Structure 1
């Protein structure tokens, strides 16, 4: 009898502990800021915490459960896509969906979900990112508006400066005028660069690029400016093709143009090769070089005293990073001038 009583007591204690664990678990679920649910694959809501009820704008769990999953999707296709992914992979991560609240307001959720109990049920967590997306959309609008307004005003200023250049200025005044025009052009180029970077981040589709043709096209565009300054541009053909984002061409245009304008060089040499899974394209000049302290921060966009305003090289580095590569800057092998090494991944390369 004593043994039976001991077993019964232990069973009771185990049940009590399970009960406490379940209550703690339930408390965590109920107090979570994220919406948490359990539903069938067919869309019937079995359980939902209060945060989920609030997210969808219903009065109670019962009302939400009666409405069902399908009423909460703005686009029914999103539900079909969600079910397809979770049935194939057993889980869904970072799935961003536009939902409909009971009052018809559109809200945005980021969902994590897994199949449980042999694939009959779905456990999910929905994080409300509606305000974040609204803030991002507003920031994007103001950014676009600001760039557009700055561009238009810069064009007006350039027009007045051109008119001013025809008014019989002294040599010193003309020099000041040219510096002003150069500063305005720099700002306009920066705005163009920011727009290109934004487009690049949105669309990262790649295309086949012939390195020789790309460099040849860029040097032809810059040949007049180089010859006007007494600079020779020399390119050693590489016979390399690779798959890259189209805007990567802007990187080499920017580096070569910077060398022409700011390096005080006599010669620019460009050559390419491959190794360790990358195509390395090097742009070298025999100019005055770059201060070692500036080299350390040259790609962060905030460097003063570097070539140009610093933002062009920052944008170039960002473009290359988005393409899976990197840019390095150093001295030429003979210690004179500067060498920029641009590494682009050789994945899916089309080397002849």
Structure 2
């Protein structure tokens, strides 16, 4: 059976299956989205109601605090007498007030029934809950009926201090305020629920929202209704999706049959190309990308894959070169330190005194530090991540390993890594071993976008004929590996910097390094 015949059969069966699965999936998705919208709308509305109640508590506390701070009271009894004012109760919007002394003993208590316009006895449930209200300071509480409360300290002129507990019942006026604020049909329900529930009734969604008081008890249950417009939209969405998927399936089926011949040819070209790559290896040849469809995307992916393979090969070559460089760096710098250890050991054997042991120990410790730095440098070459490094601290650390006079002028922070220690160490070692200097000066200067480090020695200097050659790998005018200055150049260039050498007018050489400024 030819590929085209197979594809036609597969496409017909696939599209029939896709039609069925698409209808099921779209129906499930639309219903799921409808449920999520419903949950989101309910949570948003319920959250708004809860925030409204929290604001009522805050506003009660603010009004009462303003009143207490604006008045001067001779004693706690005076506080109770001042509160015996119906106008004040209406102004503060409170139903009851209890004055307590510093030991939370009742000094005065008042309750006002705004509906009847008369003073009433403070309910026992209010007195029984004073301790809870004082403990929590403010919030919602279930007394003989749901209420909000706020507790405030009060100071008097007689230095008799205490507290005032303000209580406001959640009444019809507050519910009316809530209705105007939320613009929904809302009220208190006799139904007791432990958590928010909602149900569909007469085409509307009825939500029961319980609010707990400061003790964790259900203080009241709000009941409100919403019209579930999203359910109407979901039914319309399901029908629309079924019609759309069906029509799309038919149109796409015909379109696939029309372009099938051309696409089969393109697939054959891709097959021949991949076989050629397999037989002859990777090259710079790439697939020609035509059109903007899945086959062209496949061709682009194959081209991208070949590009990535070539990049990986180049990265592998670079990684091997870096490893070879690090190996040469280790051998070069470690050989310098072993030479130093050998010289100290020979002097110690010749003079038969232990005075050189300390120098040998320092050289060994320095070698251990070198190995650790090369290990860190290996990580940096693999994944270079510049960090802020203080040049002066680097120089001082390196110069601990050399018994030679030196001066440091200036200070700056550069973007580098642990390889900067090898840069400074190789310059100092080169100046001593090959330049014969007896002192070194370091000058650090901050420029516009870089830092310039000048390492000045007073040795034999460097002739003009070899100034361009000394940074080349393997170049040496003495019995050495010719790696020290090559290492310096490699590391500095890795930082995006530059290094060169100049003559010292006072005799000797000046190595100049420019590094990125931190």
* TM-score, length basis structure 2: 0.35
Larger RCO (CA within 8 A; separation ≥ 6): 1
TM-score norm. by structure 1 comes to: 0.49
